Amino acid sequence: MSNYIVVTGAAGFIGSNLVRALNARGVNRIIAVDNLTRADKFKNLVDCEIADYLDKEDFINRIQHGHFEGEIGAILHEGACSNTMETDGRYMMENNYRYSVILLDWCLEQEVPFLYASSAATYGMSQIFREKRKHEAPLNVYGYSKFLFDQIVRQRLPNASSQVAGFRYFNVYGPQEAHKGRMASVAFHHFQQFRETGKVQLFEGSHSYANGAQMRDFVHVDDVAKVNLFFLDHPKRSGIFNLGTGKAQTFNDVAVTTVNSCRAMAGEAPPLTLAEIVRQRLLEYVPFPEALKGKYQAYTCADISRLRSAGYDASFASVEEGVARYVKWLWLQA
């Protein structure tokens, strides 16, 4: 593709992994767009090849003044505030919703493929994770910002003359997420906890689940990048798609894999069972936070039938595979 590919949120977690995945297939004509108010995110792009970097506000101003007409081959829109605990609704809607609408409308006008990040947060407390309006009930303003933009996409799609594909990311984990702080994945925090204290922490039982038995659909960021590039390669395929593994696993599974992977990297063997890890006090259960009551998804599992119907047939890494690979990467970075 001779035109530029724009990646928004390029210095972030998923954005930087998309840039890296594009580089791996020889694509370097990339315009990286982000807001580096938090300057430490630049580190995520140090090993990447890009053609240019633009601040988010500068990029919006330029496209609205016709600077890139005929020069952009696709926009991969990952830029968003992903803090589910953010309480500034005005900021969230401006940053996540309005920004996305501006880019969507520009892409439709220019007939440029538009791939964007939605979120499983659109489902809220639902136990059915299928891409239909009746299953969507976000619990926080982050989820609402993603939900509302999905509704706009649904309105635009019937008359769209170019690709629009949204991906409802489930619990993504993997390299380049350290800057996310408390919003980084459980696997990241478990690694840090184990290296610093020799044990990891999980919430006690809640929502009728036993200690650490709450379940999420944990998906490795490499798989997220593969799905995005699949759609980039198939510009006739549009819609809103769940992007998870299609399998829910417990937080205990993440803890066990992290502990055993750290022990293996340190030359300690054999692997321990959950019961042995608890008995040796390598895993500690802490009270469920009051601040999360009524705002917590204790179970998520992507229905990926629509993704499969679109032709994506590759397998997804399990927690045991993906977290082990991630812990090895973290260990070598430490």
Question: Cα(3)–Cα(307) distance, rounded to whole angstroms?
Answer: 27
Question: Cα(228)–Cα(167) distance, rounded to whole angstroms?
Answer: 8
Catalytic residue flag (residue 180): yes
Catalytic residue flag (residue 53): no
Q: What is the CA radius of gyration of the chain?
A: 20
Question: Cα(9)–Cα(324) distance, rounded to whole angstroms?
Answer: 27
Indicate which residue of 97, 99, 142, 144 is catalytic.
142
Quick one: which of 299, 134, 152 has its CA closest to 216? Answer: 299
In the three-class reduction of DSSP (H, G, I as helix; E, B as strand; rest coil), residue 13 is classed as helix
In the three-class reduction of DSSP (H, G, I as helix; E, B as strand; rest coil), residue 128 is classed as coil
Phi, psi at residue 7, to the nearest 5°? -120, 115
Indicate which residue of 53, 56, 180, 295 is catalytic.
180
Question: Cα(95)–Cα(77) distance, rounded to whole angstroms?
Answer: 12
At 94, list the tokens: 């401006």
Task: Report, as residue numbers or ranges, the catalytic residues.
Answer: 142, 180
